[in-house]
């Protein structure tokens, strides 16, 4: 499209082009035209003022009716986006200094007698300024490996595995340092589905302190996690669509307040499905570590199977909730461990445990989760179903080994 040509209007040039012998009639017509133009300019000014008055009155009228202009909504949307982005940035700035990368190395000999160095990577976060670090148990599970921690600034530390949790995929390691930045542990029970969360970790063991953002997709998930020759049932997990990759294991899942509310631990073989251990399930273990240097958990001493509606229908059970005390498939996997608190209380194979201290065992709150609320040597009341009849027994909880 050709741009319109624009020329300046020059009074001197216009006068030089005027005819020198105009008639009176032409002059009168010119005066008439000039007068008309002046009148039009005056009317235009009056109309402009009137328009301003009308716009003002119209705005007041729209305000009385509760109407809003589109520009206001757009501003609100932009403001909301800016606030969300700012909250994410602030949360990352708050937590990232306390996030560390963990590498494992060991010398391995293959079947041909050749030696080589095997390595692995994970993530952790600092909880005390003298070097206590939380990570996943599977990140530091190899007793033959040497573990090294790299902090936010790239400084290198030798790490010692202090304790591993017999119940969760959770471990605590220690580095020799002081004055370290620490994270703030939040309340994972206060999470809502749809809430924004941030994952920070050593993605793929190569890209340290990578940040991804998503939402809480679900709560209370149960999975069978496998990897490195291990398999473990994990319960009560947070599901998120924030991208979690290999190497992110043990890293923090953070809310917009900059509080750690989960430990990234596993991913499904699908896009944007990751799982994290809620911080509330490990807080007692953390306190135990600080006091004793060990993770101590209460134990009942049974093998059990969570009862679902499908399991109840298939086996014609009288209840569709609770925990069925059962014998494992392998030889020696007894339903009740001899000498355990459960054995001493008279709990038997095929009993269905319904409640602990009147708290019902369901798919959302498993037997193991409820037990973690108590301390070793606490006495609890257990309601169970045996041969169609309910009975109650008292059990003094032991220590999980």
User: E strand or H helix at 44, and its extent?
Assistant: helix 24-64
DSSP element (H, E) containing 185: strand 184-185
Cα four-point dihedral sign 318, 320, 324, 328: positive
Contact 214, 243 (CB under 8 A): yes
Is 138 a catalytic site residue?
yes
Considering the candidates 169, 217, 351, 366, report the single residue annotated as catalytic: 169
Spot the catalytic one: 249, 288, 351, 366: 249
Strand pairing category for 184-185 and 274-278: unpaired
Mark whether 152 is an active-site residue.
no
Helix (H/G/I), strand (E/B), else coil: 294 = coil
From the candidates 138, 151, 165, 217, which is the catalytic residue?
138
Distance CA 323, CA 308 (A): 9
Block residue for tokens 């705005």: 59
Query: Contact 312/324 with Cβ under 8 angstroms?
Result: no
> Is 119 assigned a catalytic role?
no
Q: How far apart are CA 258 and CA 40, in angstroms?
A: 65
What string of H, E and C letters represents the secondary structure of 327-346? CCCCCCCCCECCCCHHHHCC
Query: Which pair of structure tokens corresponds to residue 123?
Result: 């993530």
Q: Which residues contact 96 (CB under 8 A, 6 or more apart)?
A: 152, 200, 209, 211
For 72-183, strand residue ranges (E) read 99-109, 115-126, 132-135, 146-150, 156-164, 171-175
Provide the sign of the torsion angle of the four alpha carbons 16, 17, 23, 25, taken in this order: negative
Measured between its terminal Cα atoms, the distance across the chain in Å is 83
CA nearest neighbour of 216 among 181, 241, 189: 241
DSSP code of 400? -
Q: What secondary structure letter does DSSP report for 36?
A: H
Which tokens is 386 given?
């045996």
Residues belonging to the active site: 138, 169, 249
């Amino acid at each position: 499209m050709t741009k319109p040509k624009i020329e300046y209007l020059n009074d001197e040039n216009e006068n030089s082009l005027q005819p020198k012998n105009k008639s009176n009639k032409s002059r009168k017509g010119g005066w008439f035209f000039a007068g008309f133009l002046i009148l039009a300019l005056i009317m235009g000014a009056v109309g402009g003022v009137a328009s301003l008055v009308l716009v003002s009155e119209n705005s007041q009228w729209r305000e009385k009716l509760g109407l809003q202009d589109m520009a206001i909504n757009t501003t609100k949307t932009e403001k909301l986006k800016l606030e969300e982005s700012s909250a994410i940035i602030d949360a990352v700035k708050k937590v990232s200094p306390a996030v560390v990368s963990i590498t494992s190395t060991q010398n391995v000999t293959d079947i041909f007698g050749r030696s080589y160095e095997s390595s692995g990577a994970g993530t952790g976060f600092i909880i005390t300024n003298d070097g206590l670090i939380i990570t996943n148990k599977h990140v530091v599970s190899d007793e033959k490996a040497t573990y090294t921690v790299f902090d936010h600034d790239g400084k290198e530390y030798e790490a010692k595995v202090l304790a591993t949790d017999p119940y969760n995929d959770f471990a605590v390691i220690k580095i020799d340092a002081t004055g370290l930045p620490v994270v703030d542990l939040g309340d994972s029970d206060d999470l809502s589905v749809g809430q924004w969360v941030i994952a920070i970790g050593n993605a793929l063991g190569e890209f340290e302190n990578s940040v991804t953002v998503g939402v809480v997709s679900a709560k209370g998930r149960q999975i069978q996690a496998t990897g490195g020759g291990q398999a473990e049932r994990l319960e009560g997990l947070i599901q998120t669509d924030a991208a979690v990759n290999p190497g992110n294991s043990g890293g923090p899942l953070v809310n917009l307040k900059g509080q750690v509310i989960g430990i990234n631990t596993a991913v499904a073989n699908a896009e944007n499905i990751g799982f994290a251990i809620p911080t509330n399930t490990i807080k007692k273990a953390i306190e135990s570590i600080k006091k004793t240097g060990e993770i101590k958990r209460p134990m009942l001493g049974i093998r059990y199977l969570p009862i679902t509606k499908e399991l109840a229908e298939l086996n014609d059970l009288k209840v569709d909730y609770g925990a069925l005390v059962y014998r494992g498939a392998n030889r020696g996997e007894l339903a009740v461990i001899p000498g355990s608190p459960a054995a001493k209380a008279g709990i038997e194979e095929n009993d269905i445990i319904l409640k602990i201290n009147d708290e019902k065992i369901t798919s959302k709150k498993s037997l193991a989760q409820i037990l973690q609320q108590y301390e070793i040597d606490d006495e609890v009341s257990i309601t169970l179903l045996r041969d169609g009849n309910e009975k109650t027994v008292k059990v003094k909880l032991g220590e999980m080994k």
